[in-house]
Amino acid sequence: MAEIARFEVSEKLLEQQNSFLQKARKNGKIRVGVNETTKAVERGIAKLVVIAMDVEPKEIVMHLPLICREKHVAFSFAKTKKELGEKAGIEISTAAVAVVDEGEAKKELQELQKKLLELEK
């Protein structure tokens, strides 16, 4: 089965990403789910995409890194769907989220985007 991740996200970066997601959830706006995430990227409003690594089958989310690269949107990975759902502020698991408005965390978003784009190279 094909893997979707070309790079590994460090624990430190995961913590920073989770912190940012919680702030964006409170002060900004996020889209939850693969369909909503895909629409946000295609429409050019996504600023950061986070994809869960434990999605089965992988084909459900395999297109997200491709369209993120095409649209120049930073993307990252979360360990589990459950963890991603919690950070997104919902009570159920989710395969992907897209941050469309960072709220008051603009500086954190820029820092995260820079680190993720460097990792991807």
pLDDT by residue (tens digit) across 79-114?
899 999 999 889 999 999 999 998 888 899 999 988
Q: How far is CA 75 from the centre of its chain?
A: 5
Please state, in angstroms and rounded to a whole number, the distance separating the CA atoms of residues 10 and 79: 11
Residue-level pLDDT at 1: 29
Residue-level pLDDT at 3: 58
Give this prediction's pTM: 0.90
Q: What is the mean pLDDT of the chain?
A: 89
Domains by residue range for the chain, with CATH: 11-116 (3.30.1330.30)
Q: Which residue has the tokens 């970066």?
A: 13
Residue-level pLDDT at 8: 75
Listed as ranges, residues in the chain with pLDDT below 70 are 1-7, 121
Please state, in angstroms and rounded to a whole number, the distance separating the CA atoms of residues 48 and 26: 16
